[in-house]
Amino acid sequence: MDKFDIIKSLLEENRSIRRFDFSKKIEYSTLKDLVELTRFCASGRNLQPLRYRIVSSEKECKAIFPYLAWAGYYKDWDGPEEKERPAAYLIQCLDTDLIPDCLCDDGLQLEAITLGATALGIRGCIIKSFNMQKISEALHIQQRFKPRYVLALGYPVEKATIVDLDSEGDIRYFRDSEQTQCVPKRSIDELLI
Ligand SMILES: Cc1cc2nc3c(=O)[nH]c(=O)nc-3n(C[C@H](O)[C@H](O)[C@H](O)COP(=O)(O)O)c2cc1C
């Protein structure tokens, strides 16, 4: 495969996964390697204002889980059951001593991390709906570091695939009869104006 095809296939595989094998832990060194990928990302003014808190102990994973909101489109699903919870999390924080806000540094870095994770057989879910205050407290994160995103990580026990939008153009993801997560993505023709 040439480099373009490798990137394309990693991007395609890099779906949001919300059910994991909780018993299959991710090494601390692997989590650190994933964070290291962010060093190679572009950064507005090259300020590099983002920091990461690695959460990998069972105790801390348990402590933050109640403050996360999962899959807004699944009204009758409160998130993964205990044995299918993420094995680790990365809390992406902004160092507010450097800058009060950042441009797209956060998204670029999350993509780099999730692509790296995908290459290792790990999957993740980027979470924006979380209780920042409670998570900061539970993890004793200093006030200067403002959590922007929580990235849940683990070895997947569910499958996810991209599908075309239906005739009504519904973009809501859904689980099919085999419990595969189906994610409608717009066609290339729709993206071009
Ligand atoms: C900025 C952003 C915020 C998100 N927040 C949440 C969230 O709070 N909870 C959740 O379960 N998924 C969250 N997601 C995952 C999206 O639901 C997911 O990316 C989308 O459904 C498309 O699926 P895909 O990632 O497999 O392409 C978020 C994704 C992004 C990019």
- pLDDT, position 159: 98
**Among 75, 118, 128, 182, residue to substitute to test ligand 1 (most atoms within 8 Å of Cβ):** 128
Pocket of ligand 1 (CB under 6 A): 15-16, 18, 69-71, 125-129, 160, 173, 183
One DSSP character per residue, 65-83 reads GGGB---TT-TT--S--GG
Q: What is the pLDDT of residues 112-146, one digit of tens each?
A: 999 999 999 999 999 999 999 999 999 999 999 99
Instruction: Report the separation in Å between the CA atom of 16 and the middle of ligand 1, taken as the mean of its atom positions.
Output: 6
CATH number at residue 187: 2.20.180.10
Same domain, 142 and 165: no
Contact 80, 19 (CB under 8 A): yes
Same domain, 186 and 121: no
User: In percent, how much of the chain has pLDDT > 70?
Assistant: 100
Tokens of 133: 């205050």
Buried b (16+ CB within 10 A) or exposed e, 149-163: bbbbbbbbbbebeee
- pLDDT, position 56: 98
The pLDDT-based confidence of 105 (bands split at 50, 70, 90) is very high
The pLDDT-based confidence of 43 (bands split at 50, 70, 90) is very high
Contact 71, 63 (CB under 8 A): no
Contact 171, 165 (CB under 8 A): yes
**What is the number of structural domains in the chain?**
2
- pLDDT, position 162: 98
Same domain, 163 and 101: no
When the pLDDT of each residue in the chain is averaged and rounded to a whole number, the result is 98
- pLDDT, position 25: 98
Same domain, 114 and 169: no
- pLDDT, position 13: 98
Whether the predicted model's global pTM rises above the 0.85 cut: yes
- pLDDT, position 77: 97
CATH number at residue 43: 3.40.109.10
Same domain, 101 and 138: yes
Q: What single-letter amino acid sits at 146?
A: K
In this structure, how many other beta carbons lie within 10 angstroms of the beta carbon of residue 186? 11
Tokens of 80: 């993964």
Tell the residue nearest (CA) to atom 25 of ligand 1.
Answer: 16
Cα separation, 29 vs 33, whole angstroms: 6
Tell the residue nearest (CA) to atom 13 of ligand 1.
Answer: 127
Same domain, 135 and 177: no
- pLDDT, position 104: 97
Cα separation, 134 vs 55, whole angstroms: 15
Question: Domain containing 171: what range?
Answer: 159-193
Same domain, 183 and 130: no
Q: What is the pLDDT of residues 67-101, one digit of tens each?
A: 999 999 999 999 999 999 999 999 999 999 999 99
Tokens of 21: 């094998």
- pLDDT, position 91: 99
Same domain, 41 and 136: yes
